Each structure stands twice: as structure tokens, then as C-alpha cells.
């Protein structure tokens, strides 16, 4: 290779740099949204705060809305990893509970309250909530199906996924209204116990 040509970066390094840039954009946007609101923040301002160009922003996210939903994708990935990491002897509901509590345990209370308020007053974000929960139910069911015994009906995973995502949805809708002073994980634990008793699981 001629000496003036730069050797290509190893794939691992490129991926790591992409993840770092993505996280930096997300962090800059989160701070600006909390300070100025969703509608009051522009893509140019996010790019400037993340020290990137507007063009680079669109390499990672198609819009501000896409950026907000990327945080939900990260939460979804944490849930699926939690299901996979649950002990083999755990029931479908126990695996779901562990995954939900593990993911919610990483949520920052103040940021979660601020973003819930932002969502409620931003039609573009609120309208996407229904789709978000539908997609979450599908991937939750897929993760749970992998834990089913060979002779168990596949619908078992779907039913438990519906219950788990329903609990998550109720958590998102009621926590900031009914118990904002409580840590998200503590509230989720109480809500899941209610769901467990109601369903008899």
C-alpha cells in the first residue's frame, strides 16, 4: 500500500466510533429538549451541540422524531437482553418482570418525568406511542418464544408479551401522574405485583 494512503480502520474501531457519535448526538439532543422543549429545538442546534455537521446528523437520524424514538429502541434492546439473560427455570412472566425491572432501573427519574411531560404536549411524539407499544409487543413475544418448551403453544408467549407490554404502557401513563416522587423501578415493581395478582401468575 502506498505510504500516502491511510490504512482502513478495523471494523471494530469504526463501529465503536459510530456508537460514540450516536450517543453524543443523543446526549446533546436530550439536554436541549429538556432545556428548550422538543419544538423549540432545531436539528442545527443539536448538531452544533454535538460538534457535528447537519449532514452528519442525518447520517444517524432522519429527523428529531427519529432521534427521540432511538432512545425507545435502546430501551427495547435492554428489555430483550433482559429476557434472554433470565434463568432458564424462570417462567415467561418471571423473565418478563426481570427484564422490565432491569431496564427501568437504568432510567433517570428527572429525565423520565421531563420527557413524559414533553411527549404529552407534543402531538408528533404522542401519536407514535401506539406504534411503539405494538412493535414492543411483537419483539417481546419473539424473545419469549425462545424460552418456550418444545410442546408449549406459541400463543403462550404472545399472551405474556401482551400482559408485560400492557404493564409497561400503564406504567408510562400513570407513574408521572400518580407517583412522580417515587423511583421508576419501585413504582414498576408495585405495578407488576398488581398485574401478577390480577392475572394469577
pLDDT tens-place string over residues 72-81: 777 888 888 9
DSSP output for 75-90: HHHHHHHHHHHS-TTS
Average pLDDT over residues 139-163: 90
pLDDT top residue among 115 and 9: 115
Structural domains in the chain, CATH included, are 1-61 (1.10.10.60), 64-199 (1.10.357.10)
Average pLDDT over residues 152-173: 88
CB 54 within 8 A of CB 44: yes
CB 188 within 8 A of CB 171: yes
Could you read off the pLDDT of 16-72 as tens digits, one per residue? 899 899 999 998 998 898 888 888 999 999 999 999 999 999 999 999 888 887 777
Q: What is the pLDDT of residue 34?
A: 82
Global model pTM greater than 0.85: no
Gap between the Cα atoms of 91 and 65, Å rounded: 36
Could you read off the pLDDT of 189-199 as tens digits, one per residue? 988 888 888 77
Q: What is the pLDDT of residue 73?
A: 77
Amino acid at each position: 500500500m502506498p505510504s500516502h494512503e491511510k490504512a482502513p480502520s478495523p471494523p471494530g474501531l469504526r463501529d465503536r466510533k459510530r456508537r460514540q457519535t450516536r450517543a453524543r448526538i443523543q446526549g446533546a439532543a436530550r439536554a436541549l429538549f429538556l432545556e428548550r422543549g422538543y419544538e423549540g429545538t432545531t436539528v442545527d442546534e443539536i448538531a452544533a451541540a454535538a460538534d457535528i455537521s447537519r449532514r452528519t446528523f442525518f447520517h444517524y437520524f432522519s429527523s428529531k422524531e427519529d432521534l427521540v424514538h432511538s432512545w425507545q429502541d435502546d430501551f427495547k434492546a435492554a428489555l430483550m437482553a433482559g429476557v434472554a439473560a433470565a434463568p432458564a427455570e424462570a417462567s415467561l412472566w418471571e423473565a418478563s418482570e426481570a427484564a422490565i425491572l432491569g431496564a427501568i432501573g437504568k432510567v433517570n427519574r428527572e429525565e423520565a418525568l421531563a420527557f413524559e411531560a414533553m411527549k404529552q404536549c407534543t402531538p408528533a411524539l404522542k401519536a407514535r406511542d401506539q406504534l411503539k407499544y405494538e412493535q414492543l409487543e411483537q419483539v417481546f413475544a419473539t424473545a419469549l418464544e425462545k424460552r418456550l418448551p418444545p410442546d408449549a403453544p406459541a400463543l403462550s408467549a404472545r399472551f405474556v408479551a401482551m400482559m408485560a407490554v400492557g404493564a409497561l404502557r400503564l406504567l408510562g401513563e400513570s407513574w408521572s401522574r400518580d407517583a412522580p416522587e417515587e423511583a421508576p423501578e419501585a413504582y414498576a415493581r408495585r405495578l407488576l405485583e398488581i398485574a401478577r395478582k390480577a392475572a394469577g401468575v
